[in-house]
Amino acid sequence: MNPKDQLEIFKRDTIDLIAEEDLLRKLKKGKPLRIKYGADPSAPDLHLGHTVPLRKLKALQELGHTIIFLIGDFTARIGDPSFRSETRKVLSEAEVKKNSETYQKQVFRILDKAKNVEVVYNSTWLNQLKPSQFLELTGKYTVARILERDDFKKRYEQKQPITILEFLYPLLQGYDSVALQSDVELGGTDQKFNLLVGRELQRDYGQEPQVVMTMPIIEGLDGKQKMSKSLGNHIALQDAPDQMFGKVMSISDQLIVRYLRYLTSVKEGELAQIEQDLKNAAVNPRDVKARLAKTIVSSYYDDVAAQKSSEQFDRVFKKKELPDEIPNRAIPKSKLENGEIAITSLLVEAGLASSKGEARRLVEQGGVKVDQKKIEAANAFISLKQPVIVQCGKRKFARVQSSSER
């Protein structure tokens, strides 16, 4: 494919491209580009939010370019401060190793393992930095530049603590680009600052600066914040088909077109028609969501699993008259004991009762169900090893699951 046609594929659905003329110049050289994408294993599962850049990488892989999937096992010990209002908990080496174990398996559900792809760990070179090299790296950027970031600026103005370790994160991520001699780095819009640091560091180290590409951030099941395991609003690639289908069906109608655009391969013309039909109430949003859910499950499992998930959803929701849109609630694992929580605490944490006293009364009055089974005892414990649907009375529902506090 000629460089200009390739450029159009690079630009499709991209938010930032810095700089387009640099990318075109690289493409005109006629050599496969080294395209870097990094993910810190701060949690064991990848989710659909990660698939937005991964799907773009798949398209670029098919053009013949080399995809470098970087597992940030070193930087995960710090934690990316991007868009954080507080300092992250520092992960242990054992936690990072455990979280890294499933990453490759999940990534290759999208990327072609047999075609021009490299999987690398940034501990390989960052652990080898000598003190003199590390000091040289820290001298490449000023505190004033780091404080230009909105998240750091807000925390500084609000007198929230910022560790020196967090200041180092963008430099270390940027140094990854130097070590890999990447031509292009891809990330979400929340990564723009970090990606630009890599571009500048490459110039400082005498390399041709990488092109920076940012992709949209997908909102999670709450429809407000970005999809994140730590916020409990995610759809994991490891979710069972029924779970995946049910979670997609729980999104708000306002997210349907956005999910179709960035999480499926629906054509632009068809997407525009769906958007218009939804706006004019010419179609039932539930039917479009069902199609979306089946498409996503098929992508990560198969058509048979998608059809079974659809039938199971209809059995549970249509016949038992549960609403399609059920709010998602996440309960920190620290509040669980062996993966379980008292029903009274569960109702309070899920926002279905204002106090444990009220929760107790609701149970005693026979008004509480978990996965459509009535809870008979106010001292019952509920397992959250899998998400559950909690119902209070006829109109109050919540899909509840446990979540990390990171």
pLDDT tens-digit map of 379-398: 999 999 888 889 887 778 88
Out of 54-63, 78-87, 115-124, 248-257, least confident range: 78-87
- Provide CATH 1.10.240.10 ranges for the chain: 241-318
pLDDT at residue 85, rounded to an integer = 42
In 363-381, which positions are buried (b, 16+ CB within 10 angstroms) versus exposed (e)? beeeebbbeeeebeebeeb
Query: Mean of the per-residue pLDDT values for the chain?
Result: 88
Q: Going by CATH, does the domain composed of 328-403 fall within 3.40.50.10800?
A: no
- Provide CATH 3.40.50.620 ranges for the chain: 3-215
Select the CATH number that applies to the domain covering 3-215 from these four: 3.30.160.110, 3.30.70.20, 3.40.50.620, 1.10.10.10. 3.40.50.620
Q: Which helix (H) or strand (E) holds 155?
A: helix 150-157
Strand pairing class (381-383; 340-342): antiparallel
229 is in an annotated binding site: yes
- Rounded distance, CA 121 to CA 290, Å? 38
Specify the higher pLDDT residue, 320 or 303. Answer: 303
**Average of pLDDT values for 280-301?**
95
pLDDT at residue 34, rounded to an integer = 98
Hey, what are 23's tokens? 């990318």
- Provide CATH 3.10.290.10 ranges for the chain: 328-403
In 318-338, which positions are buried (b, 16+ CB within 10 angstroms) versus exposed (e)? eeeeeebbbbbbbbeeeebee
Planar angle of CA 26, 28, 31, nearest 5 degrees: 70
Select the CATH number that applies to the domain covering 241-318 from these four: 3.40.50.1970, 1.10.240.10, 3.90.1300.10, 3.50.50.60. 1.10.240.10
